[in-house]
Amino acid sequence: MLVMKIFANILSVIIILMVYDVFFTTIGKRRDIHWGFRLLLCLIYIIVNVVSVMLIKTQAVFIVISIIQIYLYSIPMYKIGCFKHIISCFFIYVFLIVTEAGTCIVISIVLNITIEAIQDNIIAYLIGVVISKLLVYITVKLLKYYIKPKSGKVSIILLIPFIVMPATSIFILYSLSKQILISTGETDKIIIFFSAASLIVSNLLVFLVFDTVLKQKEKQMFIEKKLLLYDLERKYQSSNVANQILVNKTMHDFKNQLYAIKGLLEIDHDRGMSKIDEICEIVESANNVVYSGITTVDALVRSKVNKAKVSGILVSTNTANISGVKIDPIDLCLILGNILDNSIEACDKINNDVKTIDLNIARQGKYISITVKNSINKMEYNNKRFKTTKTDKTLHGFGLKNVNEIAVKYNGIVNYGIKNDNFTVNIILNLE
């Protein structure tokens, strides 16, 4: 019985360490320490915690020591502010204790036994000290996914085992706890206990697989984002080359205009000065275009607008100053770069009709709205995404998917549709 309780407590502490990792990385950051030192800290915590559970009988002393253990364990493991760290240790301990107490009360009611009798029913004890921690782990994991959705939306297929398996495991453990009440042989109790323990270990493995899938998804998003940045940089450089050619051509034309204005001044001075004023206004307006107030975003949008104008597309902009917002400029560049590229691509397919692109950036309270409307010739749906004629279709898919992922990151939404031969995409981002 003692050996089984020690094993149950070890399982419990392992899950608690998993809870700590999710909880403290949600409110802070994991320190960059050697994996061997991290493993050593975990082993020390497991040993100290199990010994404390078995030896300390005074509840008040046990509570104080447990909170101190959490604090001392988490200091070298996670970067968190001192005051926030202390409050967090107290909070997570209370959360664990309340969940364990609630689980024990439910077990007492369901099995019709007293709280004290749970100590004698090893399966009930296993449920009380282990399953309660699993419930906490699931809770903090889902909260982290909601608060910090780095990996974007997770497939329902992945969420099903993460939620359903613990539920079915609790039902099986309940059946085993009823069975152990009527079992008289010690061997039967040992078999039932290790069957229950194996079931719990299987749950842990499912959670680890789920966590690994999320990390792989985050890694994939990071790679896709790098590819997009590379693609945007490549397009920006290509645009610079095109702009330089355009500048050379403009300078050549400007030189001819200067000769013409010089001649005009000799014939009609007022008309010549009026022509000079027109040119100055054009130059001044081109230099002072500010789309968002964010330098990198403005540079990107200016590049796309120039590219569109070279292609004979009429571009209108109605933008608000959004400088100082808590949104990564790279994310804004990825959104605007992709949707403007798609708009230019769609307009390039039009041969005869007028080609237009309307860009609108607005700030409404805690939200930013980005809307792009462009003329189209024909756009087709493909599994809720639009087909492309780009040579690099892979990057196109990454682009559209990452626009959605960035919207999810900021608790926003993406809407798009076709109306009156115009395609409109609207992205709303939450600033809080």
- What is the model's pLDDT at position 380? 46
- At 389 the pLDDT is 42
Q: How confident is the model at residue 42 (pLDDT cuts 50, 70, 90)?
A: very high
> What residues are paired with 425 via a beta bridge?
372, 416
Residue 367 pLDDT class (50, 70, 90 cuts): confident
Please name the residue that has the structure tokens 């399966």: 123
Q: Is the model's pLDDT at 378 over the cut of 60?
A: no
Amino acid (1-letter code) at residue 61: V
pLDDT of 77 higher than 90: yes
- 217-230: per-residue pLDDT in tens? 777 777 766 676 66
Residue 254 φ/ψ region, left for φ over 0, alpha for ψ in the -120 to 50 degree band, beta for the rest: alpha
pLDDT of residue 302: 81
pLDDT tens digit sequence for 199-220 = 878 877 877 777 787 778 777 7
Residue 427: Cβ-neighbour burial (10 angstroms; 0-12, 13-18, 19+): buried
224: alpha, beta or left? (left if phi > 0; alpha if psi -120 to 50): alpha
**Domain-wise residue ranges, the chain:** 2-212, 289-432
> From CA 232, how far away is CA 360, in angstroms rounded?
21
Query: Residue 332: what pLDDT?
Result: 87
Output the pLDDT for position 202: 82
- For the residues 330-340, what does the mean pLDDT come to? 86
Tokens of 295: 């330098």
Residue 372 confidence (pLDDT): 92
pLDDT of residue 157: 64
**Cα separation, 73 vs 71, whole angstroms:** 5
More confident site: 201 or 92: 92
Task: Report pLDDT digits (tens) over 388-419.
Answer: 444 444 334 445 677 888 888 888 888 888 88
Predicted local confidence at residue 384, as pLDDT: 41
* pLDDT tens column, 224-278: 666 766 666 666 666 566 666 656 666 666 677 777 777 777 777 777 787 777 7
pLDDT at 72 > cutoff 90:
yes
Looking at residue 155, what DSSP letter applies?
A: P
CB atoms within 10 A of CB 134: 24
> What would the two tokens of residue 287 be?
């230099």
- Of the candidate CATH numbers 3.40.50.10860, 3.30.565.10, 3.30.420.40, 3.90.1150.10, the domain formed by 289-432 belongs to 3.30.565.10
| Confidence label for 383 from pLDDT (cuts 50, 70 and 90) | very low
| Mean pLDDT on 38-63 | 89
Dihedral pair phi/psi, residue 43, rounded to 5°: -65, -40
Q: Name the one residue in this structure whose structure tokens are 């509840």.
A: 59
The predicted pLDDT at position 398 comes to 45
In 3D space, the residue among 278, 276, 275, 294 whose CA is nearest the CA of residue 286 turns out to be 278
Share of the chain above pLDDT 70, in %: 77
Determine the pLDDT at residue 44.
93
